[in-house]
Amino acid sequence: MTVLFLSVLCSVGLTDELYVPGQYPTIQAAINAAVTGDTVLVADGTYKGPGNRNIDFLGKAITVRSQSSPENCIIDCQNHGCGFYFRSTEDRNSVIDGFTITNGYAPFGGGIYCLGSNPMISNCIIADAIYGSGIYCNNSSPTINNCTITGNSNRGGIFCDNGSPTINNCIITDNSAGSGGGICCIRSSPTITNCIISGNRARAITGKGGGIFSYSSSLTIANCVITNNTTSFFGGGIFLQKGSSLTINNCIITGNKAVYGGGICALDSNATIINCTINDNIAIRDPGGGIFCDSSACPITNCIIWNNVAPDGSQLYPSTNLTYSCIQNWTYGGEGNIDTDPCFVQPGYWADINDPNIIVEPNDPNAIWIEGDYHLLPTSPCIDTGDPNYIPSPNETDLDGNPRISGTRIDMGAYETNYIKAEMNFTPKIINCNSKGKWVKVHVVLTDEFLPEDVDVNEPAWAEPIDLESEYIKLLGAGKGHVKLEAAFNREDFCAQITEPGQLEVTIIGSLTTGQNFYATDSIKIIPQR
């Protein structure tokens, strides 16, 4: 029986952990000794020099992992080579997990170079490659999860040449390249989900795609925020060229800047844009502040396109196939389209770089982008007004990860709203702003299906149109099954927002621990300060 047991163990195989620097002086030395299924554990510290850069997996199905976190385990390439090199058909059983890879200098991948391989790259910070991209994928399809790719200044964040990488839950920020500052795709088919792509730059004189550049590629993008990317020419957020195709769903595209096509620019390409919020982008001298698409094959559905800026076609240029969307100053009809203020919680804005409290024009040379909150207020006309026949794909969510349809119909834009209506009363019902007092209070009663623990008292309530957070929100108890709350607003700040006397209708919005929000409305009579 014992012999049989040992035989089974031998047939299955046992894996080992190899320790750096405890057992092996360098990461490469440990990889050289590893066999299939082994894990190389790298202790906290900064690793430099031969054996700790240009690290080759040698085609092995092993895991190389830091023992704690990427902030504490650093591979410093010292401007000489890259961090890791995959070139021997490695697959997803070849894993890098939990490193900072910095100061790379290589012709292609300054951080990680994948050639004909498909490794798994997780929980890494890939930063400050002076030459070469953060990650270079040549005929490769790596899986890149939970990574921050930042400050890579030659070939951008991720460069894909004839590959199909999966990029999930990553932050790709402050990278630059001639074109494709954040992600550059040549004859590739990336899938990009749950990512933030921000502050990237295409810096060439005819730079294209500050956030994402696509040439003869097929892109699938979902549940991403693409914001504050810039280019010297085409496509501040996304640029498509030469027969590219894009399917983008449940995304926010805001605060991007270009000469031509501030948010999305598609030339000789197709873009299918669904459930997206495209706001506050700018084309400085040419058309298409929000979207420029030179093909009629650019269908847009369930989107909000608002407050974009361009000399011609501020929201969209030219007019295209648009249905069940909210678009500013839209006069071309189409099924289900509206042109009413979408009522965002707090739109972003362009501010002076020296003082974020000063709002400036988006083409001001000192303008910086301040990101907003593009959730919808309960009064939004975009709630339950999307395509009535829209059927979400399996497991499809909005940008918050909530079910894509929460009401009777899908909402327009990247977020579904899930508001619970409540009742409230102001105390007092008349506010004389010339008299003394500390608080303006509201008392809210939730419907009987909620319990006291469902109220998130750590999140302030919000008053509209006063644009003011509550100083506190607290439970008053539950009577006859109804949860009762009190929210208090600073009286001086409340009055400072009021200039005209009379009745003012105010909506209070609060948070529930269920992930929902409650709202309630009441009128208060205002006597403004003299």
C-alpha–C-alpha distance, residues 255 and 286, integer Å: 17
pLDDT at residue 2 above 50?
Answer: no
Which of 156, 174, 189 is the C-terminal boundary of a domain?
Answer: 156
Dihedral, CA of residue 55, residue 58, residue 62 and residue 65, to nearest 10: 0
For 487-522, what is each residue's pLDDT tens digit? 999 988 888 887 788 898 999 999 898 878 899 999
For 354-406, what is each residue's pLDDT tens digit? 998 899 888 788 889 999 999 999 989 999 999 999 999 999 999 999 999 98
104 within a domain of the structure (yes/no): yes
303 within a domain of the structure (yes/no): no
Q: Rounded mean pLDDT of the chain?
A: 92
121 within a domain of the structure (yes/no): yes
Which of 141, 156, 171 is the C-terminal boundary of a domain?
Answer: 156
* Burial track 412-440 (b if 16+ CB lie within 10 A, e otherwise): bbbbbbbbbebebebeeeebebeeeeebb
381 within a domain of the structure (yes/no): no
- The pLDDT assigned to 321 comes to 86
288 within a domain of the structure (yes/no): no
CATH of residue 91's domain is 2.160.20.10
- The pLDDT assigned to 131 comes to 93
For residue 518, the enclosing domain spans: 419-527
336 within a domain of the structure (yes/no): no
Radius of gyration over every alpha carbon of the chain, rounded to an integer in angstroms: 27
169 within a domain of the structure (yes/no): no
- The pLDDT assigned to 7 comes to 27
Q: What is the mean pLDDT of residues 259-264?
A: 94
Domain count, the chain: 2
* Beta strand residue intervals within 116-163, DSSP E: 120-122, 125-127, 131-138, 143-145, 148-150, 158-161
**Which residue reads 């502040």 in tokens?**
289
**Which residue reads 């093909």 in tokens?**
295
For 22-63, what is each residue's pLDDT tens digit? 999 999 999 999 999 999 999 999 999 999 999 999 999 999
- The pLDDT assigned to 218 comes to 98
- The pLDDT assigned to 6 comes to 25
CATH of residue 496's domain is 2.60.40.10
- In this structure, what are the phi and psi dihedrals at residue 356, rounded to the nearest 5 degrees? -60, -10
With beta carbons less than 8 A apart as the criterion, state whether 196 and 168 touch.
Answer: no
C-alpha–C-alpha distance, residues 312 and 294, integer Å: 14
pLDDT at residue 12 above 60?
Answer: no
CA 157 to centroid of chain Cα atoms: 15
For 98-148, what is each residue's pLDDT tens digit? 999 999 999 889 999 999 999 999 999 999 999 999 999 999 999 999 999
With beta carbons less than 8 A apart as the criterion, state whether 483 and 455 touch.
Answer: yes
pLDDT at residue 304 above 50?
Answer: yes
For 275-303, what is each residue's pLDDT tens digit? 999 999 999 988 899 999 987 678 999 99
Q: What percent of the chain stands above pLDDT 70?
A: 96
C-alpha–C-alpha distance, residues 111 and 96, integer Å: 12
* Share of the chain residues as helix, strand and coil, in percent rounded to the nearest 5: 5, 45, 50
- Residue 345 is inside which H or E element, if any? strand 344-346
- In this structure, what are the phi and psi dihedrals at residue 7, rounded to the nearest 5 degrees? -65, -40
Which of 124, 156, 188 is the C-terminal boundary of a domain?
Answer: 156
| 491 three-state secondary structure | helix
273 within a domain of the structure (yes/no): no
C-alpha–C-alpha distance, residues 352 and 357, integer Å: 8
Strand partners, 112: 84, 135
For 169-202, what is each residue's pLDDT tens digit? 999 999 999 999 999 999 999 999 999 999 999 9
For 449-496, what is each residue's pLDDT tens digit? 888 889 999 999 999 888 899 999 999 877 666 899 999 999 888 888
pLDDT at residue 5 above 70?
Answer: no
Per-residue 3-state assignment (H helix, E strand, C coil) for 401-448: CCECCCCCCCCCCCCCCCEEECEEEEECCEEECCCCCCEEEEEEECCC
**Which residue reads 């190899």 in tokens?**
18
Q: What is the mean pLDDT of residues 262-266?
A: 95
Tokens of 409: 């119909």
- The pLDDT assigned to 15 comes to 67
